[in-house]
């Protein structure tokens, strides 16, 4: 009798074995127009193919964490690194899968998947920026790829430094941070300056070890974060004058993230002696924090980034939840008051807003 019971238990387990529900019904592939919401790029985790895009609908406060799959019928891939909008198209840079997904801005439908393979060799794209009719993509193999935004074909490869990451346009030039991040103790320290007319590298500016995030402020100055070596050499924000292409200032605080906020910068930084990051507003003209602690780190499990939305003057902060749990986008007023949060996918890092 006991034996029969055991067999029944085993059969029951087989019968009850749940099937994963990631399959998407074709009928859900909709082409409805996107409005009043935001797209959230969730990077996922290395070797898990779980990069994703969440759609947050502000009108009914609903979240669809399978947005990309519902729109395209397939998965985004492994480690989404950047998502930008340009000329009616959304460009999503997927690093480990080595692809750039191009979506129609209006409805999210796939226009093209650009393979960033060089034969069997993955170029590992990281970030994207635009100028004129071209998109520029940093590739970890030491190049910036130029993509025609109409044909969506790669037209040129520009040799830069080691493991380029961020890139920004200023004064008709493209500034590319060369991290050299895959060289462990011998990381790169330079920013490549590319002439956007000739599409050639002009020079390299030495800024500090392991440069990563890079942006252009409202005055045309270029700011780059040199991340150091995560131990003895701490991170620093460096300002480059885009006219002289010289390093102007090295700011004396540890920093992990930056974002434009009108004429100011929103920084994720650590004040001297502190081990905890916070979000402050920095005046780049006066070179002081106008608001040293706008948002405290106690609001987050893992503060992973911040993005400013000019249309409603709010800050959207990313909580990566220890990097291994699904994350949140937390919304704060310009005075640092918490307003709401949205539960999204794994490691949210970029937003595109729809008004």
Partner 1 sequence: MIIKHLLQIIFFNCFFCMLGYSQDTVRSLSEVNVSTFELLKMKTLEITSQSYSRNQILYSQPEDIGAILQKFSGTAVKSYGGLGGLKTVSVRGLGSHHTTFLIDGFTINNTQTGQINLGQLQTDNVENVTLSIGGRNGFLLPASSYTNGSIVSVNTFENNQSNEFFKIRYSTRIGSFGEIDNYLSTKISKKNLFLSAFGKYRQANGKYPYLLKNGTIDYKGIRNNNDLLDWYSGVTFGKFFKNDAELRIIYKTNGANQGLPGAVILYNEMANQRLSTQSQSLNLDFTQNYKKIAYRIFGTYNYDWLHYSDPFYLNNTGGISTVYINKSTQLGSSFQYKLGNKSIFFGGVESRYSELIFSTPNSAIPKRLNSFGLFGINFNREKWTSELQITVQSVLEENNSGERAVNRFKVNPFLSLENIEFGSWKWKFKAWYRNSFRMPSFNELYYNSIGNVKLKPEEANQFSVGLSIKPIDKKFDLTVVLNGFVNRVDNQILAIPTKNLFVWSMQNIGRVNTFGYESRVRIEKCFNSFWFTDLDLNYTFQYSVDVSDKKSPTYLNQVAYIPRHTGNLIYNLKRKNTGFQISTSIVSLRYSLTENSVSNQLNGIEIVDLGVFSKINFKNKQSLRIQFSVKNLLDSSYSYIRYFVMPGRNYLLTLNYAFN
Residue numbers of the site for partner 1 (CB under 8 A)? 2-3, 6-7, 9-10, 13-14, 17-26, 43, 45-50, 52, 65, 69, 72-75, 77-79, 94, 96-99, 113, 115, 117, 120-122, 124, 140-142, 162-163, 180-186, 230, 304, 321-326, 345-347
Residues 6+ apart with CB under 8 A from 230: none
Shortest reach from residue 320's CB to partner 1, in Å: 8
Shortest reach from residue 171's CB to partner 1, in Å: 29
Shortest reach from residue 349's CB to partner 1, in Å: 9
| Nearest alpha carbon to residue 39 among 110, 105, 93, 97 | 105
Residues 6+ apart with CB under 8 A from 17: none
Shortest reach from residue 82's CB to partner 1, in Å: 13
Shortest reach from residue 75's CB to partner 1, in Å: 5
- Pairing relationship of beta strands 164-170 and 154-159 according to DSSP bridges: unpaired
Q: Cα separation of 14 and 9, whole Å?
A: 9
**Residue 108, Ramachandran bin (φ over 0: left; ψ between -120 and 50: alpha; else beta):** left
Output 53 or 169, the one with its CB closest to partner 1.
53
Q: Cα separation of 319 and 89, whole Å?
A: 27
Output 309 or 343, the one with its CB closest to partner 1.
343
Output 255 or 281, the one with its CB closest to partner 1.
255
Tokens of 284: 């780049």
Contact, 268 vs 258, CB < 8 A? yes
Q: Cα separation of 89 and 77, whole Å?
A: 19
Output 50 or 216, the one with its CB closest to partner 1.
50
Integer CA distances (angstroms), 123 to 73, 89, 114, 154, in order: 25, 22, 12, 13
Output 67 or 130, the one with its CB closest to partner 1.
67
Shortest reach from residue 312's CB to partner 1, in Å: 28
Output 198 or 231, the one with its CB closest to partner 1.
231
> Could you say which DSSP state residue 56 is in?
E
């Amino acid at each position: 009798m006991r034996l029969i019971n055991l067999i029944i238990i085993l059969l029951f387990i087989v019968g009850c074995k749940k099937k994963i529900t990631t399959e998407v019904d074709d009928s859900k592939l909709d082409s409805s127009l996107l409005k009043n919401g935001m797209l959230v790029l969730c990077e996922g985790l290395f070797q898990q193919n779980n990069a994703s895009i969440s759609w947050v609908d502000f009108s009914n406060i609903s979240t669809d964490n399978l947005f990309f799959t519902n729109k395209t019928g397939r998965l985004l891939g492994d480690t989404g690194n950047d998502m930008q909008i340009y000329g009616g198209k959304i460009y999503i840079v997927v690093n480990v899968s080595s692809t750039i997904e191009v979506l129609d801005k209006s409805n999210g439908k796939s226009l093209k998947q650009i393979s960033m393979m060089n034969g069997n060799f993955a170029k590992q794209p990281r970030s994207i920026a635009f100028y004129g009719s071209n998109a520029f993509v940093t590739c970890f193999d030491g190049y910036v790829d130029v993509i025609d935004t109409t044909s969506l074909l790669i037209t040129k490869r520009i040799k830069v430094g080691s493991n380029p990451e961020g890139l920004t346009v200023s004064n008709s030039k493209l500034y590319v941070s060369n991290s050299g991040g895959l060289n462990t103790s011998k990381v790169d320290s330079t920013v490549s300056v590319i002439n956007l007319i000739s599409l050639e590298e002009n020079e390299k500016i030495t800024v500090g070890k392991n440069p990563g995030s890079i942006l252009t402020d409202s005055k045309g100055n270029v700011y780059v974060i040199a991340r150091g070596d995560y131990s003895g050499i701490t991170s620093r924000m460096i300002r480059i004058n885009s006219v002289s292409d010289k390093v102007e200032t090295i700011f004396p605080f540890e920093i992990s993230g930056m974002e434009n906020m009108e004429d100011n910068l929103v920084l994720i930084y650590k004040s001297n002696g502190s081990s905890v990051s916070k979000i402050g507003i920095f005046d780049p003209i006066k070179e002081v924090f106008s608001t040293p602690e706008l948002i405290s780190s106690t609001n987050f499990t893992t503060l992973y980034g911040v993005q400013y939305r000019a249309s409603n003057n709010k800050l959207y902060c990313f909580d990566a939840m220890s990097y291994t749990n699904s994350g949140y986008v937390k919304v704060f007023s310009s005075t640092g008051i918490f307003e709401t949060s949205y539960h999204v996918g794994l490691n949210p890092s970029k937003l595109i807003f729809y008004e």
